[in-house]
């Protein structure tokens, strides 16, 4: 075979292999990023619901309203719908049943919680 033709075939093969590797790496990174975001939303949801329930228990124990704050590493969007709490991140939505009426929500890294014996107010701090 001609030397130029061999070099062209080798170069084409290497470029094709490089494209396949790049595409595969890109897809793996996208899946890993989505998985990490889902874990972050789960962690945020359980941390927030635990803090809310702790504030309600403290309110019942002490017989007065209890205020507390919680902060997250990354900004999240939180929405309270009655006894349900939803946490939104880039591509995922997680919800949990709280068992106590919750009002409010917002977006940000820091959230302020005010709990009485049967109602929780949730606001985001800018």
pLDDT digits (tens, 9 = 90+) for 9-18: 778 877 777 7
| Residue 116 DSSP class | -
Bridge partner residues of 60 (DSSP): none
Q: Give the per-residue SS3 of 69-114.
A: EEEEEEEEEEEEEEEEEEEECCCCEEEEEEEEEEEEEEEEEEEEEE
- Name the pTM for this structure: 0.65
Q: What is the pLDDT of residue 109?
A: 86
Average pLDDT for 80-104: 84
Q: What is the pLDDT of residue 22?
A: 75
Burial 106-115 (b: 16+ CB within 10 A, else e): beeeebebbb
Pairwise pLDDT comparison (39 vs 41), residue with the higher score: 41
**In 3D, which of 75, 35, 42, 56 has the Cα closest to residue 115?**
56
CA distance 98 to 91: 23
CA distance 12 to 15: 5
CA distance 90 to 126: 19
CB 50 within 8 A of CB 70: no
CA distance 116 to 68: 12
**In 3D, which of 67, 12, 70 has the Cα closest to residue 45?**
70
């Amino acid at each position: 075979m001609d030397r130029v033709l061999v070099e062209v075939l080798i170069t084409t093969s290497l470029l094709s292999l490089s494209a396949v590797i790049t595409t595969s790496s890109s897809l793996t990174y996208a899946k890993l990023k989505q998985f990490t975001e889902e874990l972050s939303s789960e962690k945020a949801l359980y941390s927030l619901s635990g803090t809310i329930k702790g504030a309600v228990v403290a309110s019942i124990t002490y017989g007065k309203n209890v205020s507390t704050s919680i902060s997250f590493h990354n900004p999240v969007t939180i929405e309270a719908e009655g006894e349900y709490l939803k946490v939104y991140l880039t591509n995922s939505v997680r919800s949990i049943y709280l068992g106590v009426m919750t009002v409010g929500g917002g977006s940000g890294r820091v959230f302020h919680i005010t709990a009485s014996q049967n109602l929780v107010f949730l606001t985001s701090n800018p």
